Structure 1
């Protein structure tokens, strides 16, 4: 029996990006069904009492930069702490992740590549040309989102966000195994324990 993990994330989140880098090793070692669920951060934070980064206190913003640097060094993950294009409108890229999964491609690998575009390469992930270049580099077809698919993707993002709120999610990345919620890329060791117990 494989463990089932609901994974709520956002491409704008450096913590989600660091989780995306770590997850393939975990998936390689265990029989896991990972359900990728990109969410809309604005509605998620609003519904759960969170604040977008720009509205947080100067102290919290400064501490965030220290923590990002510490974890990037701990995990040996290159990370630009203050990327040129952040926050970026990630709707198109998140939609491409959803479309790619619907067409049978590896959504996690693509999400990692999109995260690297923001947090390592300083690219503008709202730019369709940038997304096209990433798709080509990943060996994926050009997943042009027509209007009918765009509407379906908007519904999927809304549905993921509503599900996350109902499940008790208040930030990203968040993993849910059965009734257990794990928030943060620094909780992957606890996630692994839950996967072992569920397998």
Structure 2
């Protein structure tokens, strides 16, 4: 059975713009997914990247144009300047880790609900109430927002180390079981074709 390790940040606009396409591809190709939230700023620092606010104005302008283009292509509403961005991504990441370990709900729907809260609903994804609401929406026990915090912190840190070791440098980043790497939501069609044996 094919497998996809999905490295992402809950602060990433491009992870939000992926929507549920990864989950659709996995269902069609019979693939499993492991969700690996990570600290994107730490990843940038260790892999030669630059946080958005520190990029040259031309890069910032291009990023804004591309976000709006992708929003139109996907039909996903998007705020270029969310009220609560950046915020602390750790609480939402820990909740995703706890939910994946607990099972019983839809992790893909949880990830998307958290990203949507940030980028389309102008809500603070570091707030307990927002996280609990996303957990409940995705079929999980909302108390997972405040459980397993130590384990969540450890896995969050290890996800970063694994991402670096396996060649990830941005979000979203998809790595297949045969170590093929795909960076960006605009490479999901290539991931699909790879799983189908076409490329």
Q: TM-score, normalised by structure 2?
A: 0.93
Structure scoring higher RCO (CA < 8 A, sep ≥ 6) equals 1
- When residues 137 and 165 of structure 1 are mapped into structure 2, their CA distance, relative to the original with a 3 A threshold, is same
Q: Is the 8 A contact 1:20 1:108 kept in 2?
A: no
Q: How does 1:30-179 map to 2 (within 5 A)?
A: 30-104=29-103, 105-142=105-142, 143-146=144-147, 149-177=148-176, 178-179=178-179
- Of 79-88 and 114-123, deviating more is 79-88
Q: Is the 8 A contact 2:128 2:145 kept in 1?
A: no
Structure 1 residues not aligned, in runs of 5+: none
Q: Which whole-Å CA distance do the structure 2 matches of 1:164 and 1:172 have between them? A: 10
- When residues 86 and 144 of structure 1 are mapped into structure 2, their CA distance, relative to the original with a 3 A threshold, is closer
Q: Secondary structure at the match of 1:192?
A: helix
Q: Secondary structure at the match of 1:69?
A: helix
The alignment covers a number of residue pairs equal to: 195
Match of 1:15 in 2: 14
Match of 1:186 in 2: 186
Deviation per CA, 1:21-53: give whole Å up to 9, x if none.
322321231201111111111221111010111
Q: Which whole-Å CA distance do the structure 2 matches of 1:21 and 1:84 have between them? A: 24
Q: TM-score, normalised by structure 1?
A: 0.93
Q: Secondary structure at the match of 2:133?
A: helix
Shift of 1:58: 1.2
Q: Which whole-Å CA distance do the structure 1 matches of 2:133 and 2:3 have between them? A: 32
Q: Is the 8 A contact 2:43 2:170 kept in 1?
A: yes
Q: Secondary structure at the match of 1:197?
A: coil
Q: Which whole-Å CA distance do the structure 1 matches of 2:35 and 2:133 have between them? A: 22
Q: Which whole-Å CA distance do the structure 1 matches of 2:91 and 2:47 have between them? A: 25
Task: Flag as ranges the 4+ runs of structure 1 deviating above 6 A.
Answer: none
Deviation per CA, 1:59-85: give whole Å up to 9, x if none.
111111100000111111111121111
Q: Which whole-Å CA distance do the structure 1 matches of 2:133 and 2:93 have between them? A: 15
